[in-house]
């Protein structure tokens, strides 16, 4: 094999590895949104590598991250889980704090204030409730400060591609996590006569909490298997 042929073969092999890598991240983020309760078709979630390549391969033969963007709407079950309970002060509660989500894979090798502002502006101008920005590199600390600054208008989550190559919830050692609705949370606290602050805690930075998009004040049910007790549940407050 000539030097040029060897170079081309290595380039094709590298492109093939990159395609498989991005396909895995694409699959994981779709599984993540489906697990949160967004409406996605099974074809979207279980897309094959060949179909992924056919949809997102650019003119140069490599996967074009700029084409890897999509939105999803919350299901009725998700809307119900985020619904506010009526109270004496507010017999007609505000609408659920949930809505359409926008996901984007950013190809930039540097992600700073400009990229984050553009992303936030896109979410705001298109009325997306939440946005997930997936990057190949760490976002600068200055750019991350934009996220709380725009929180009143839109929610922004960020993930590194490499953190999405494997769905952590599929690991045998990770128990099933189920987000409680506000009604279920109230019933739980009343049943055990607890305040939510008396529950064990889970940080918003916890990998599974990030996967599920947990917010401060929410309670998650964790279902584990035991050789002696069978299935048993514990509860944690997200802080």
Q: Please, which residues bridge with residue 221 across strands?
A: 178, 235
For domain 3-166, say whether CATH 3.40.47.10 is its number.
Answer: no
The CA distance from 111 to 134, in Å, is 10
Same fold, 3-166 and 170-238: no
Domain spans of the chain, in order of start: 3-166, 170-238
Q: What angle do CA 202, 204, 209 make, to 5 degrees?
A: 75
Answer whether 236's CB lies under 8 Å from 200's CB: yes
Residues of the chain with pLDDT under 70: 1-2, 11, 229
**pTM for the model:** 0.92
CATH of domain 170-238: 3.90.940.20
The CA distance from 2 to 211, in Å, is 47
- Tens of pLDDT, residue by residue over 50-92, are 999 999 998 888 999 999 999 999 999 999 999 988 887 888 8
* Nearest Cα residue to 82 out of 191, 155, 31, 30: 155
Helix (H/G/I), strand (E/B), else coil: 53 = helix
């Amino acid at each position: 094999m000539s030097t040029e042929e060897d170079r081309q073969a290595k380039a094709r092999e590298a492109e093939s590895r990159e395609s498989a890598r991005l396909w895995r991240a694409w699959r994981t983020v779709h599984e993540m949104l489906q697990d949160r309760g967004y409406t996605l078709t099974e074809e979207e979630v279980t897309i094959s590598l060949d179909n992924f390549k056919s949809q997102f391969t650019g003119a140069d033969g490599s996967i074009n991250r700029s084409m890897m963007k999509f939105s999803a709407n919350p299901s009725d079950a998700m809307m119900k889980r985020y619904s506010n309970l009526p109270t004496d002060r507010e017999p007609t509660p505000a609408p659920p704090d949930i809505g359409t989500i926008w996901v984007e894979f950013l190809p930039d090798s540097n992600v700073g204030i400009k990229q984050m502002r553009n992303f936030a502006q896109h979410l705001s101008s298109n009325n997306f409730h939440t946005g997930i920005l997936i990057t190949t590199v760490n976002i600068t600390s200055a750019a991350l400060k934009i996220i709380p600054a725009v929180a009143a208008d839109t929610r922004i989550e960020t993930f590194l591609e490499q953190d999405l190559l494997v769905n952590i919830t599929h690991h045998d050692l990770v128990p099933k996590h189920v987000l409680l609705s506000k009604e279920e949370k109230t019933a739980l606290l009343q049943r055990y006569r607890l305040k939510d602050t008396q529950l064990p805690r889970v940080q918003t930075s916890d990998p599974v909490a990030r996967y599920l998009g947990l917010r401060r004040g929410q309670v998650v049910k964790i279902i584990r298997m035991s050789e002696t007790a069978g299935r048993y549940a514990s509860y944690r407050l997200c802080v």
